Amino acid sequence: MALFKTPSILLTSPDKMKKNMKTTTYKVLMAVALVIAFSFTAESQIDLKKVGGKIKNTVVGEENTSIAGSFSDNKAVSNGEIPQGTKTLYVSANNGSNRNDGSQSSPLKDLQKAIDDAPEGAVICLAEGNYLGYLDQGWVKVNKYLSIVGGFSDDFSQRDPVKFRTTMRPGVAQIKTSGNQGVMDIRVVGNRNGAVLIDGIIFDRGQINMYAAPAYDNAAASAPAGCETGRIVCVDESPSGYPILQPQGMKSAFQLISGEAEGNITIRNCVFLNGYHFGIQMACKGGHFDVYNNVFVANRMAACEVRGGLVQPNTSSIAFHNNTVLFTWCRTKIMEDMGYGFRYMTGIDADVYDNIFGCTNFGALDRSYTDADKTKEAKRVTSAWNNLFFANRNGDMVLPSGGGGWTFVLAKNFEDVNQLVKYEKNREMNEAEVNAISKKIDTPYLKGFIGITGTQTSSFNPNSSVNTFRSALGMNMQGTETVRVSMYGNRYPYEKTFELFGAIQGYGAQEIK
Cβ proximity of 417 and 338 under 8 Å: no
Q: What is the pLDDT of residue 176?
A: 58
Taking the C-alpha atoms of residue 7 and residue 396, their distance in angstroms, rounded to an integer, is 13
Which amino acid is residue 411, in one-letter code? A
SS3 of 484, please?
strand
Angle at 487 between CA 268 and CA 15, to 5 degrees: 100
Segment (H or E) for 74: helix 74-78
DSSP state of 338: -
Residue 377 sits at φ, ψ, to 5 deg, of: -60, -40
CATH code reported for the domain at 72-445+488-500: 2.160.20
SS3 of 496, please?
helix
* Domain-wise residue ranges, the chain: 72-445+488-500
pLDDT tens digits along 73-126: 676 777 778 888 999 999 999 999 999 999 999 999 999 999 999 999 999 999
Instruction: Show Cβ contacts of residue 306 under 8 Å, excluding neighbours closer than 6 positions.
Output: 280, 281, 282, 283, 284, 289, 291, 318, 345, 348, 350
Torsion of CA 253, 255, 257, 259, to 10 degrees: -90
Q: What is the pLDDT of residue 215?
A: 72
Taking the C-alpha atoms of residue 131 and residue 170, their distance in angstroms, rounded to an integer, is 8
Sign of CA pseudo-dihedral 28, 2, 277, 264: positive
Strands (E), 115-256: 123-127, 129-130, 140-142, 147-152, 166-168, 184-188, 195-199, 202-204, 210-211, 232-233
DSSP state of 239: -
Q: What DSSP assignment string belongs to 371-438?
A: -SSHHHHHH--EEEES-EEE--SS-SEEEE-STT-EEEE-GGGGGG-TTBS--TT-EE--HHHHHHHH
SS3 of 24, please?
strand
Q: What is the pLDDT of residue 8?
A: 31
Segments of the chain scoring below 70 in pLDDT: 1-73, 75, 173-180, 216-221, 236-253, 456-461, 465-470, 477, 479-482
DSSP state of 173: G
Q: What is the pLDDT of residue 244?
A: 52
Query: Exposed/middle/buried for 487, CB within 10 Å: 0-12, 13-18, 19+?
Result: buried
End-to-end CA separation in angstroms for the chain: 44
